[in-house]
Every structure is written in C-alpha cells, then in structure tokens.
C-alpha cells in the first residue's frame, strides 16, 4: 500500500495529464456535436418565431401578402442567422394559423378572418413549383447542423492525440533522465565501494603490521580468494576482507569460497566485514565448526580500527 501511494505521488501529474486528454477526446466526440446541434435548433426556433410574428403583424393589419414576400422573409432570416429554414412556406402558414387560433385575446370573428386570409395565401402555393416551396432535404439539414460539430469533434480528437504524443514524449524523456541518474548513482556507489574496500583492506594490513605477526598479503594481480595469510604460534589463518555497501550482506557463497581456500591451505579462516552476515551463511559456519574443531571459521565485523584491532588480537595473539 505504501509503494502504491508513493507511485501515485510521483506520477500524479502524468495521471492528470492523461485524464485531461481523455476528457478532451470524450467531450469532443460525445458532447460538442450535440451542443452545436442544440445551438442550431435554438437558432431555427428563434427564426421560426420571428417569421410567424412578422406574418401575424402583416395579416392582422390587412397587408397584402404574396408568396414572394414569404420567400424573401425566409431567405433573409437564413442569411442573417446562417441557418437553413426547415419548414416549407405552406407549413409556415399553418404554424401562423395555429398561433392565431391559440391567441384568445383576439375575438373569434377576427381570428376567423385572419385564418381565412392565410388560407387564401396557402392556396397559391399549390400553383408553384413544389421544389421551391418544399422542405429542404433532410440530408442538407443534417449537413448544415452537424458540420460544426464534426469539425469541433475532429479538432478535439487531434488535440487529444497531440496531448497523448506530447505526454508520451515527456514520459520517455523523464524515464531516460531517471535511468541516466540511476546509472550515475550506481557508478558512484561502485566507485565509493571500491575506494572504501581498498581503505578497509589497508586498515587490516596496518593492524597486522602493528601486531608484529608474520603475514603475507595476497598479490593484487591475481585473485587467490583471500587477502592475507597469517602464521602464528596458534596456527595458520586465512583472512578474507569483505567491504560491502550497507544494502548488501555476506552471503553463503562467500563462506563456501572461504572454506574451500581454508581446506586447500589447511588453515583456520577469518572473515572481516563491515556488514551483517546472512542467517544462511551463519548456519553454514556453525555446522562447519561443529565438524572441524581445529580449523574453524571466525567472523569479525565493524569499521572502527581499534575495535577491529582488538577482535583480531583475541584471535591471533591471546
């Protein structure tokens, strides 16, 4: 759970970026076209109400109204509001008649006259070319009301794709930078470990020299599997010095190697290290020492020079 929270904390900016991209694409595809369509419908509704009110005013005031006048009024509204009027002239007249019928403030006799006047205009539409007065094709209406929605959706999708590409490139760069930092950090740790290992081994050599014991240092040109071989009155000792970073411990593999060298040199073994010894390695040492009472394996741990010197003295001199 802790690792999950840490991951979320480190990637919260990226998560919100992807969420923003997803919402952009979602609204572009599913909501913007509907919104544009609703806007077009509201425009058409407004145009229709305006046309009906204008016709009502003209007919009520006994103005002579021709089909050409109605066509001009419709065309003017279409140009002004950038829409395609979806109703035929006959349908517009019928809608105007319905509006008169619903208007209870006009006396019934007057309403009858107005409806009759509109009927006479409607009769004239039958003599016209039906292609002129008929309702526009449904395909034209669909294209008119949805072209902006399609364009808006396309722009949203393009922006979303660009956002995904941009975020992916950003993540790739961040990963490369992070990887480079990890490599540099690892290289620094290795260099520090090598440097500290040399210094640690040098401290052991200084301690052995100060104790005036007979010892030989293994050649650095070849890896003999040990660092010092000591001759004392108590016996011979093979000393292996292991400096590790604190994140690592002494594994059973190192103990097996030391035991193999001890057997070859017929000596006791001392492992000197700055870190803990794994439990599996401790078990191997315990079992080995029970069987081999003479040539046992001992562990010296620590980094302080005086403490290391005291532990070595107990094994080699005392």
- At 133 the pLDDT is 41
- At 295 the pLDDT is 92
pLDDT at 259 over 50: yes
User: For 85-96, what is the mean pLDDT?
Assistant: 91
pLDDT at 281 over 60: yes
Mean pLDDT of all residues belonging to the chain: 82
User: For 253-267, what is the mean pLDDT?
Assistant: 93
Compute φ and ψ for 171, nearest 5 degrees: -65, -40
| Residue 293: CA count within 13 A, CB half-sphere | 0
Point out the least confidently predicted range of 12-21, 133-142, 146-155, 208-217: 133-142
pLDDT at 14 over 70: no
How far apart are alpha carbons 266 and 260 in whole angstroms? Answer: 10
- At 262 the pLDDT is 93
- At 132 the pLDDT is 41
Asked if residues 88 and 122 have their Cβ atoms less than 8 Å apart, the reply is no
Asked if residues 277 and 299 have their Cβ atoms less than 8 Å apart, the reply is yes
Q: Which domains does the chain have, with CATH numbers?
A: 2-157 (no CATH), 197-316 (3.40.1350.10)
How far apart are alpha carbons 228 and 186 in whole angstroms? Answer: 29
Structure-token pair, residue 178: 């992070």
- At 26 the pLDDT is 57
**Residues 101-143: pLDDT tens digits?**
888 888 888 889 888 888 888 888 766 544 444 444 444 444 5
- At 301 the pLDDT is 92
Cβ-based neighbour number of residue 235 at 10 Å: 13
pTM: 0.48
In the chain, what percentage of residues exceed pLDDT 90?
Answer: 37
- At 191 the pLDDT is 82
Under the banding of pLDDT at 50, 70 and 90, the label for residue 170 is confident
Closest CA to 250 of 229, 225, 279: 279
Asked if residues 303 and 200 have their Cβ atoms less than 8 Å apart, the reply is yes
| Strand order through the sheet with 297-301 | 214-217, 228-232, 235-242, 268-273, 297-301
How far apart are alpha carbons 126 and 211 in whole angstroms? Answer: 127
DSSP-derived letter for residue 82 is T
Point out the least confidently predicted range of 25-29, 91-95, 257-261, 303-307: 25-29
Under the banding of pLDDT at 50, 70 and 90, the label for residue 146 is low
């Amino acid at each position: 759970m802790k690792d999950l929270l840490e991951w979320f904390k480190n990637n919260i900016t990226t998560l919100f970026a992807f969420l923003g991209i997803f919402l952009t694409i979602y609204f572009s595809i599913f909501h913007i076209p509907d919104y544009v369509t609703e806007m077009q419908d509201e425009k058409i509704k407004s145009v229709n109400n305006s046309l009906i009110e204008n016709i009502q005013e003209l007919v009520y005031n006994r103005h002579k109204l021709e089909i050409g006048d109605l066509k001009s009024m419709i065309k003017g509204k279409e140009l002004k509001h950038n829409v395609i009027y979806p109703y035929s002239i006959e349908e517009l007249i019928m809608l105007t008649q319905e509006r008169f019928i619903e208007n209870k403030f006009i006396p019934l006799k007057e309403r009858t006259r107005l409806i009759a006047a509109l009927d006479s205009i409607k009769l004239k539409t039958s003599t016209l070319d039906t292609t002129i007065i008929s309702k526009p094709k449904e395909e034209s209406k669909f294209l008119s009301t949805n072209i902006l929605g399609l364009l808006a959706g396309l722009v949203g999708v393009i922006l979303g794709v660009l956002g995904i590409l941009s975020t992916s490139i950003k993540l790739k760069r961040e990963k490369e930078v992070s990887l480079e930092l990890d490599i540099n950090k690892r290289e620094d740790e290795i260099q520090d470990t090598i440097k500290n290992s040399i210094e640690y081994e040098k401290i052991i050599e200084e301690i052995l020299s100060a104790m005036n014991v007979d010892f030989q240092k293994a050649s650095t040109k070849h890896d003999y599997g040990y660092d010092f071989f000591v001759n004392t009155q108590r016996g011979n000792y093979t000393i292996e010095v292991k400096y590790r970073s604190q994140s690592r411990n002494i594994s059973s593999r190192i103990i097996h190697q030391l035991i193999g060298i001890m057997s070859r040199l017929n000596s006791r073994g001392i492992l000197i290290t700055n870190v803990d010894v794994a439990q599996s390695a401790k078990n191997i040492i315990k079992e080995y020492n029970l069987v081999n009472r003479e040539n046992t394996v001992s562990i010296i741990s620590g980094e302080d020079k005086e403490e290391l010197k005291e532990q070595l003295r107990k094994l080699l001199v005392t």
